[in-house]
Amino acid sequence: MPDKTAISKRKQHRPCPVSDQLPLGSIGFLDPLCLCVYSPNSHLMRRSWINIIAATTVAGISGAWAATTANGLVAIVNDEAITWKEVAQQAAMAVEARMASLAARSAKLEEEIKKAQQDALEMLVQRKLILHEFKQAGYNLPESLIEDRVRSRLRERWGGDRATMTRDLQSRGMTFEKYREMIREEIIWEAMRVKNVAREIVISPHKIEKYYAENLDKFKVADSVKLRTIMIAKPASGPPEQARRRALEILKKLDEGVPFAELAGVYSEDSFRNQGGDRGWVELEREHYQPALDQAIRALKPGEHSGVVETDRAFWIVLVEDSKTSHIRPLPEVRAEIERILTEQERNRLEKAWIDRLKSKAFIRYF
């Protein structure tokens, strides 16, 4: 927590709310330069396709939407403007997450991009409102907090190399001063959110029990098995006999008493090899295994293993360690999960109420 003595003592400013209420770095945030998601105790999580979205989406799918803006102006919040470029940059990350799955479905992709644009515009409006509230309240953000965040980002993103940072910023048409201002806004956003949205939200046992009673379907578990597998892949071309013989040799070792997990750790060719073939609890209705494999699993009792099962691309040996029939998870098992859901709902409600209050006091015009 920052030292309170670092906060400006000027009478016309009140201490920044970050000083007493926000352990810096405790909230996930959006890097304003590269639109990268960071979270507590983690490094860079994901890069966005800003250049692609800005260069191709604006001129392509979203061209009609962009053309409706006056000289690139999308909105005005009090005396601050929001441009189309800002919206495109903000929307880029959300679009990226869906781009691969929707690339072949242009109509759906256009719908997703428009939604991302609308969400991005709303986020930018909220940012302007929050920055305005910070300014009107007379808060002052200590320069040391900004410098600490810049140094931290320098280490995380550029390996501590200031020259590399400068070149990267220049390649994006951004000055260091502009980047530093974005960092400042980022900290203010975090601090004001913590100040105005309660961090300690208490959910009563009654609300948890009520949610459970009204949402029993969400806690229904289908028939499931605790499963281990050994997979031997068929060759991409040619006869599969060698792979079949290998699977039969493994089965023989299993029948001779060699532990399944040990054999899976040595011979299996799937991604569960390092876990001794352990796939944990599996709901067969959700997994949609190939029919031959599904039938083999369903035929086993706990503690039994199959023979060699052939599917289109592999030979399998499976072990059912345990099984559960369809049931509803009991309340004690899901209490913590429900509490997290209700806490998030309440936090969202409080945040919306706060933003609505800011909007009611502001001048906002959309173009």
- In the chain the domains, ranked by start, together with CATH numbers, are 4-196 (1.10.4030), 223-325 (3.10.50.40)
- Amino acid at position 211, single letter: Y
Q: pLDDT (tens digit, 0 to 9) for every residue of the chain, 367 residues total?
A: 444 333 333 334 444 444 333 333 333 333 433 333 333 333 333 334 444 344 444 444 344 444 444 357 888 888 888 887 777 767 765 666 555 555 556 667 777 778 888 888 888 899 899 999 999 999 999 999 999 999 999 999 999 999 999 998 888 778 899 899 989 999 998 889 888 886 778 999 999 999 999 999 999 888 889 999 999 999 988 899 999 999 999 999 999 999 999 999 999 999 899 999 999 999 888 878 889 999 999 999 999 999 999 999 999 999 999 998 888 999 999 999 999 999 999 999 999 999 999 999 999 988 8
Residue position matching structure tokens 């009563």: 204
Helix (H) or strand (E) holding 20: helix 18-21
Counting Cα atoms < 13 Å in the Cβ hemisphere of 356 gives 6
Predicted TM-score of the model (pTM): 0.54
Helix (H) or strand (E) holding 305: strand 304-305
Helices (H), the chain: 18-21, 50-52, 63-67, 84-102, 106-136, 143-158, 162-171, 176-196, 205-214, 241-255, 260-267, 284-287, 291-298, 331-360
For residue 142, give the DSSP letter.
-
Distance CA 300, CA 193 (A): 54
The two counts, helices (H) then strands (E), for the chain are 14, 14
